[in-house]
Each structure stands twice: as structure tokens, then as C-alpha cells.
A and B are shown apart, each in its own frame.
Chain A
Amino acid sequence: MAFYFDSSACSGCKTCQVACKDKNDLPVGIRWRRVYEISGGGWEQEGDTWVSKVSSYFLSLSCNHCANPVCLTSCPTEAIVKRDDGIVVIDPERCMGCRYCEWVCPYSALQFDKQKGQMTKCDFCFDYLEEGKQPSCVAACPMRALDFGEIEVLKGKYGDTINIYPLPDPKICNPSLLITPHKNADADSYEIVNREEVKNG
């Protein structure tokens, strides 16, 4: 199973994030799906005048259910499991809440629930999938910027782009994620401008 995200269509409304929190009843501070705002640009000289060329784009990101999940190989208790359908889940009967996977994951997908004393993450709404429904984030997106399915099917529909700023090198854990980039996604001098909001908001 893989996610597809169309950054060129996303308006940054965060409905996916809210739908995920609602469906999974996530406490304050935990976001299995997060929407990052990346912006940049500045003043550029055109002839005798200076014009403002700024823009931003969004990145909606959850666990990418990687083909080579580094969280799984580093988990000491074998609490992180990759199911036959490729979905990576945490077994609460085994997780001891050491938070090592939180350090290891380059996508900040694994988050510590202080009340439970355990790590939590996106489970691809596998219960919904078993009922033939879409994951809550995909179903909620008003811009139809999210999709899901088998990675090869998604590649056929949307291409195989994944390596865009600010995502890490996909070779590290081979994420099951495809992206249609925003037209400015490769621009220099862009940065995440809502990092604090995503982390602590």
C-alpha cells in the first residue's frame, strides 16, 4: 500500500490532518498526518525594477509505510511489523516506549503518546480498508490531492516522483509515497515555515 500526494493541487487546508486526528481520536500534539508549508523566493531584479517573486507550496505527509522501514529494523522489541499488504503497524502489546524509532525515522512519522506511554503512527486506516472504505485523510481531502493504492498502480497513474525538498533521500528507506510536485518544489532558498506549528502546535 502506498500514498500519493498532489502538491500542485494542495491548498494547505489541513482537512486531511484533522480527519486523521478525528478518526483516530489523537490527543493534542500528535499528528499522524502533518501538513508542512514550504515557502521561499524574494526580490528579483528585472531591468530597472525589483519585483517580488515569492511563493509557497504544501506537503501532506504521514507514515510512508516504507519498503525498507528503518524503524522496524531498529525496534528492539519487534513491536513494529510490516503486514503482508505493506502497511507498517505498531503492536501495543510489545512497544515499550523507548522512542528510538522516533529518532530513526526521517519523516517524523512515529510519535510518542505520553498517556499511553507508547509510540503511535499512521496505520493506513486498515480497518477502513477492510470495510472497502478509503483512509480518512484521502476521503476527506476537498482538493482530491491524496490517493492511495498499490505502488505500481499509482506509478502508472501519477509517475514516480518522490525526491522533492524537504524530503530526505528516498534511498534511505524506500518510502511508499509518490508526489506530483508543485511547480516551485525544486526552487532554491525554500524552507519549512511552519516547523514549530507541526512540531509543537
Chain B
Amino acid sequence: MVDHVWPLVFFTVLAQMAAGGYLFLKISRFLPALMSFPKSIYKRTLTVLLIIASAALLISFTHLGTPKNAIFALCNFRTSWLSREVFFMAAFVGILLFENVFFRWFSKSASVSAIISVVGLLILTSLVFSMAKIYRLETVISWNNNYSLLNFFSTALLSGIFLLIFLNPLKNKGNINSMLLTSIAFLIIQLVLFFGFSPATGNWKTIGIVLYVVVLIIVKLQILKVFPQNRIISFVIIILLGLAIILERYLFYISYQNVGI
């Protein structure tokens, strides 16, 4: 059971990071009062999101025993949340590809851009929702609750905003500070969910909580200007946060316990 969960850990985390990143990128585009980026950063981030989402899609193939039959994965859209997840993941990569390749060069229309963005946001919401519903199983005691739903959306928001902080130019200090403050709220939500609702137990859960707390402290110290806002600190935060999220997700998968025999 455990040996095939690592690809799922990386697939879900990367897909959610791309989804969260897309959400905040669009907020910066359409609600610049909340956060904003220079145009060059916007385009670069779109490319990074495409790379991350494509990597997630490729990684998802590595947990399959017979990848050639993945062409049938959309067949049971009517009843299988897994089919729906595959559909929305492919659609998300498609919309990112469209925005990166076609839309960037062939159309500059603001209204078309807005429509594409709304479609993209609907797709990513459906993607994260269907990802979470896959694990809401009546036959699995440890997963039959709202943790996966809340955690998957929370992970998307948390990893998405930190991805944008990491990609944001350092000269844009005011913008970063507002994003760091937002990220603290997401960190606290993630921590509360992990501590209070995760089916995981034991020492590794404690280590995960400690990692989140360390990230929280570093971010707070950055806001208070105790730590400098430079690439090294940002890199340390991304690494520690990535470890915490991956550990939390891995512990979720191995907490599997069914109702039966």
C-alpha cells in the first residue's frame, strides 16, 4: 500500500501548488489593490505554473502499473471522482498551455483574458475539489471526513502564495510584506488543520508541526525585519515548507485504515 503513494504525494502537492499559484496570479491581475506584479513577473510565473502542473501530470503516470491504459481514465466521469480529477488536471494544464503559448502571442484582448481566467479558476477549483473527493470514502475510516477537502484547498492557498513570494522581485518590498502577512494566515490554518484534524499520529506528525512552526517564526521575523528579505531566506522557507507539506501529505496517505477486513 505504501510503496505507490510517493508519486501521489508529489502529484497532489505540485498540482495544488500550481492551482494556488494560478489563483493568486489572477488576483494580482484583476485585483491589483490586493497584490500586484510587474508584467514580466506575471508572464514568467505563468510559465513556471505550466512547468509545475505538467510535472505533476507526468508524475501521476509513475504510480500506474499500466500507463498505456491511462487513455481510458476519463471513461467513468459519471461516477468516478478519479476520472473527474484526471479530466480537470488535463484541462488545467491545457488552459495554462493556452495562456502561455497562444494567448500570449496571438491575442491581447482584456475581455478574452478575463474569460480565460474565469474558466481557469473554475477548472482549478473543480480540480482541487475532485482531488479531495477521491479520498472521501465511506469504506476508509481514516479518510471519511472533511480533512482532505480542507487540507487540499489549504495546501493550494499556502503553497501557491509562497510560490509567488519566491518568484516576486525583492525590490517590490511593500507587495511582499502584504503577501507575507497573508501567508501567515494560511500557515496558521494549515497548522490548525494538521494538528487538530489530520488522521496522522506519532513522531513524524510532531516533526511536521515543528516544521510549520519554524516557517511561521521565520516569516514573522521577516515581517519584523529581524531577518533580511533575501533569496537565501526565501529559499530556506520554501524548502522547509515543502518538507512540511510533503510530510503531512505522506502521513495522510499512510494513515489509510479501512472499515473492513
- Spell out A's residues near B (CB within 8 Å): 36, 59, 61, 70, 73-79, 93-100, 102-108, 112-114, 116-119, 166-169, 172-173, 192
Contact = CB atoms under 8 A, between A and B. Distances in A.
Q: Max chain A CB contacts within 10 Å: which of B69, B137, B259?
A: B69
Contacts of B69: 77, 79, 93-97
Given A103-B137, A172-B138, A74 B81 contact: yes
Contacts, number: 113
14 contacts: A74-B79, A76-B82, A95-B66, A96-B67, A98-B64, A100-B134, A103-B137, A106-B259, A106-B261, A107-B260, A114-B65, A166-B260, A168-B258, A192-B261
| B contact face: mostly helix, strand, loop, or mixed | loop
A96 B140 contact: no
Interface stretch (B70-78, B198-206, B212-220): B70-78
A-B pairs, top 5 by smallest CB distance, nearest first, are A97-B65, A117-B65, A106-B260, A77-B72, A168-B260
A74 B139 CA distance: 12
B148 interface: no
B83 interface: yes
B134 A105 contact: no
B137 A104 contact: yes
B256 A76 contact: no
Contacts of A108: 258, 260-261
B259 to A, nearest CB: 5
Contact of B261 (A73, A114, A166): A166
Interface in B130-145: 134, 137-140
Nearest to B75: A78
A78 B76 contact: yes
Contact of A77 (B76, B139, B256): B76
A77 B75 contact: yes
Interface residues of B, number: 31
A165 to B, nearest CB: 10
Contacts of B83: 76
Nearest to A106: B260
Interface in B243-261: 256, 258-261
B224 interface: no
A76 B139 contact: no
A116 B69 CA distance: 13
A106 B258 contact: yes
A77 B73 contact: yes
A75 B80 contact: yes
Given A74-B82, A77-B70, A166-B260, 13 more contacts: A36-B261, A76-B83, A77-B73, A94-B72, A96-B64, A97-B64, A99-B4, A100-B82, A103-B256, A105-B139, A112-B65, A119-B65, A169-B259
Residue among A97, A100, A192 with the most chain B CB within 10 A? A97
B29 interface: no
B136 to A, nearest CB: 11
Contact of A96 (B72, B80, B260): B72
B61 to A, nearest CB: 9
B231 to A, nearest CB: 39
B139 A97 contact: no
A104 B66 contact: no
Given A74-B79, A106-B139, A168-B139, A99 B65 contact: yes
Contacts of A36: 261
